[in-house]
């Protein structure tokens, strides 16, 4: 779980920040009361291999009466080279499907403001993530450029919510803002930069 300097007064603010990866929360660092899971029938969506934990945690936060943060934990990090996040296929768009399901889920609970927040601010970020990850994962350049020119994807990539992420929160947010600006100027340059980032991580780790 990312370091928290301030607490949250309501669960909707926590969910909003969580979906923007501030703080970053991992199920491996959580202790969850079983009763919360069972009483609200919280389950992972069958067949989803990308961002399934994000969907689960967002619902978990919503139904929890309180969430406590402890600034000490033991975490065994294991890198999985065969993880679906390393894929160079359209399976990455399951991340978009997760966000759309959350929109519908919160609408069903009458949380229209939260649903609108996800639709207007989180979905554009999710599209940008997918585009960036597929470039890093060496998706064929021709297919990548065809993808980012798709009218729906292009419209989401142009949303201002990417540009105005809080730069103080993390390296991820700063990278997103830079990527947002570069893709407007030169998609080929962004593709090459992202491929370079992947090569750097492969050589030096990360």
Per-residue pLDDT at 105: 97
Which helix (H) or strand (E) segment holds residue 198: the answer is helix 187-204
Distances (CA, A) of 135 to 77, 125, 129, 195: 25, 15, 10, 6
Q: For all residues of the chain together, what is the average pLDDT? A: 79
> Residue 61 burial by CB count (10 A; 0-12/13-18/19+): exposed, middle or buried?
middle
Q: Which residues contact 115 (CB under 8 A, 6 or more apart)?
A: 102, 103, 104, 106, 107
Q: CB of 78 within 8 A of CB of 55? A: no
Q: pLDDT (tens digit, 9 = 90+) per residue, 144-181?
A: 889 888 999 888 888 766 555 555 555 555 566 666 66
Which three-class secondary structure state does DSSP give residue 169? coil
To the question of pTM greater than 0.85 for the whole model, the response is no
- Cis peptide upstream of residue 72 (ω within 30 degrees of 0): no
Per-residue pLDDT at 2: 46
Q: Pinpoint the alpha helices (H) of 34-186.
A: 34-39, 52-63, 94-108, 112-117, 123-136, 141-148, 151-157, 160-163, 171-185
Task: Read off the tokens for 115.
Answer: 């649903």
Q: pLDDT (tens digit, 9 = 90+) per residue, 92-106?
A: 889 899 999 999 999
| pLDDT at residue 85 greater than cutoff 80 | no
Which helix (H) or strand (E) segment holds residue 125: the answer is helix 123-136
| pLDDT at residue 1 greater than cutoff 50 | no
Which helix (H) or strand (E) segment holds residue 204: the answer is helix 187-204
Q: Domain coordinates of the chain in residue numbers?
A: 11-69+77-204
Per-residue pLDDT at 151: 92
Q: What are phi and psi of 79, to 5 degrees?
A: -85, 130
Using pLDDT thresholds of 50, 70 and 90, give the confidence band for residue 140: confident
Per-residue pLDDT at 204: 46
């Amino acid at each position: 779980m990312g370091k928290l300097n301030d607490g949250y007064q309501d669960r909707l603010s926590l969910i909003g920040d969580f979906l923007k990866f501030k703080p970053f929360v991992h199920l491996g660092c959580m202790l969850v009361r079983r009763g919360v899971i069972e009483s609200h029938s919280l389950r992972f969506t069958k067949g989803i291999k990308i961002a399934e934990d994000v969907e689960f945690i967002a619902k978990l936060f919503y139904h929890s009466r309180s969430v406590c943060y402890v600034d000490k934990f033991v975490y065994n990090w294991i890198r999985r080279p065969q993880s679906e996040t390393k894929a160079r296929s359209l399976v990455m768009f399951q991340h978009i499907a997760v966000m759309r399901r959350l929109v519908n889920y919160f609408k069903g609970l009458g949380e229209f403001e939260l649903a609108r927040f996800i639709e207007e601010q989180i979905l554009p970020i999710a599209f940008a993530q997918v585009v960036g990850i597929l470039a890093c994962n060496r998706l064929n350049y021709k297919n990548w450029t065809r993808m980012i020119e798709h009218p729906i994807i292009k419209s989401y990539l142009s949303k201002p919510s990417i540009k105005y992420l809080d730069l103080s929160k993390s390296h991820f947010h700063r990278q997103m803002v830079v990527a947002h600006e570069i893709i407007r100027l030169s998609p080929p340059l962004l593709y090459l930069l992202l491929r370079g980032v992947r090569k750097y991580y492969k050589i030096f780790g990360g």
